[in-house]
Amino acid sequence: MVRIKREIYNQLVEWTKSEKPNEAAGYLFVDNTLFKKIITTDKSAGHFFDHDTEKLLRLVGKYGYPTSIFHSHPCAAIPSGTDRYYMQTTIPFFGCIWLIMSDRMRLRAWSINRDVWNKNEIYEIRVEIIE
């Protein structure tokens, strides 16, 4: 289970709404208690991974590796093919989960099994919004 404080959830909702129709993106640090927005550099299709990597490196230097990677989708909060591709590199490297916000502000969490038997199978983790 992933626990997200209501304050952080509200920040994710606000950021998602402000970036429409593009995807909103960011990283959560310190056990998901600190959210940092990422401004995508390619607004044409809301490409999450087109962002300032120098900023990410500064954030990692200051707060450590992210505990969650966040982005929004213009529809359902399920990993796209592109998400699945990048999950296979970012989850093992950072040891984090992926949070995806739907257009209806539903937040879902995803990770992968990293063993040889499951072949990086993606699975959902329950999200609990706490006070």
Q: Where are the domains of the chain?
A: 2-130
Residue 44 contacts by C-beta under 8 Å, 6 or more apart in sequence? Answer: none
Q: What pLDDT digit, counting tens, does each position of 11-34 carry?
A: 999 999 998 888 899 999 999 999
As a whole number, the mean pLDDT across the chain is 88
Q: What is the pLDDT of residue 119?
A: 67
Q: Full-prediction pTM beyond 0.85?
A: yes
Q: In which residue are the tokens 């990048």 written? A: 86
Q: For residue 46, is pLDDT > 60?
A: no
Residue 83 contacts by C-beta under 8 Å, 6 or more apart in sequence? Answer: 98, 100, 110
Are 77 and 97 within 8 A, CB to CB?
Answer: no
CA-wise closest residue to 4 among 109, 86, 79: 109
Instruction: Indicate the range of 18-32, 53-67, 115-129 predicted with least confidence.
Output: 115-129
Q: Which CATH number fits domain 2-130: 1.10.357.10, 3.40.140.10, 3.40.640.10, 3.40.50.720?
A: 3.40.140.10
